Amino acid sequence: MLNMAIMSIIDEDDDHSPVGDIRREARKAKEKAKAEDPTKVPTKITSKTYLVIDDEKPMRTLIKNALQNYGIRTILEASSAEEAITNLKHQQVDLIFIDEEMPGMSGAEFVFRARRGALPINKTIPIIMVTSHLEQEHIKLSRNAGVDEFLAKPVSAAALYKRVYNSIMAQRPFVEDADGYRGPERRWLKAEAEAKAMAGKPHVKVFDYNEPKTAPAGTLKGEPKITK
């Protein structure tokens, strides 16, 4: 098994396709995250600005309190996706928690628009979906929209921190493929991407997490109807 793992890394390093680049970046991020002291919350996490979007005040308070317990102090709130979009025109955030099911724009619709640069935020921003719906249909919808992590209700502090840690310390490369997917690199996309790359049709574009914020907002042409 060890030899197979070593051979896999060697093959990955020799792969100069877009998929190979993605795999190398993801591996480096994971190695860096493992090197962090798990008993101490990294400054990279506590120094960030967080936004909690949920139509229920008790849930926003629960998440806010959990974040504060880990030494995080800059936490913003919004009671709807629409309110968040308005506030984001004037406030910069580094990570977003969003409820899946809310009146008006749903969490999946918000993520879909964010990943396509139609909201006033960096489209690569980590987004954690908070949900009580763990059915395959809901998971697939949110994954296709481009979420980074899922946080299941009822929310526990340990689970919340794990999602935050994964999103910031081991953030996956942001990809954009020819079939319309925009979001963090997914394991289930690798085989398809590799097949297309081998066929001489590389279709994955990797974005720099430090790219400037995307400011324009508006209706996306051809935006699919996302039903709740």
Q: Are residues 23 and 48 in the same domain?
A: no
pTM of the model: 0.69
Q: Are residues 100 and 158 in the same domain?
A: yes
Q: Are residues 79 and 128 in the same domain?
A: yes
pLDDT reading at 43 higher than 80:
yes
Q: Are residues 51 and 122 in the same domain?
A: yes
pLDDT of residue 141: 84
Q: How are beta strands 205-207 and 174-176 bridged, if at all?
A: antiparallel
Specify burial of residue 153 (Cβ count, 10 A radius: 0-12, 13-18, 19+): middle
pLDDT grade, residue 175 (50/70/90)? confident
Specify burial of residue 82 (Cβ count, 10 A radius: 0-12, 13-18, 19+): middle
Q: Are residues 23 and 105 in the same domain?
A: no
Could you give the angle at the alpha carbon of 119 between the alpha carbons of 117 and 124, nearest 5°? 50
pLDDT of residue 144: 87
pLDDT of residue 125: 96
Q: Are residues 115 and 188 in the same domain?
A: no
Is 8 among the domain residues? yes
Q: What is the DSSP letter of 197?
A: H
Helix (H, G, I), strand (E, B) or coil at 108: helix
Q: Are residues 151 and 177 in the same domain?
A: no
Q: Are residues 81 and 30 in the same domain?
A: no
How confident is the model over 89-117, as a mean pLDDT?
95
Q: Which amino acid is at 138?
A: H
CATH code for position 55: 3.40.50.2300
Distance separating alpha carbons of residues 21 and 201, to the nearest angstrom: 15
Q: Are residues 125 and 22 in the same domain?
A: no
More confident residue, 161 or 221: 161
Mean pLDDT of the residues in the chain: 77
pLDDT of residue 158: 92
Q: Are residues 119 and 182 in the same domain?
A: no
Q: Are residues 159 and 197 in the same domain?
A: no
Q: Which domain holds residue 197?
A: 2-35+172-207
Is 219 among the domain residues? no
Token pair 């798990």: residue? 38
pLDDT grade, residue 93 (50/70/90)? very high
Is 223 among the domain residues? no
Is 221 among the domain residues? no
pLDDT of residue 218: 41
pLDDT of residue 178: 74
pLDDT reading at 15 higher than 70:
no
Is 226 among the domain residues? no
Q: Choose among 72, 102, 70, 68: nearest CA to 85.
A: 102
Q: Are residues 85 and 178 in the same domain?
A: no
Backbone φ, ψ for residue 52 (5° rounding): -110, 120
pLDDT reading at 128 higher than 90:
yes
Is 217 among the domain residues? no
The total domain count for the chain is 2
pLDDT of residue 193: 53
Each residue of 177-215: pLDDT tens digit? 777 788 898 764 555 555 555 555 444 444 433 333 333
pLDDT grade, residue 32 (50/70/90)? low
Token pair 């964010």: residue? 114
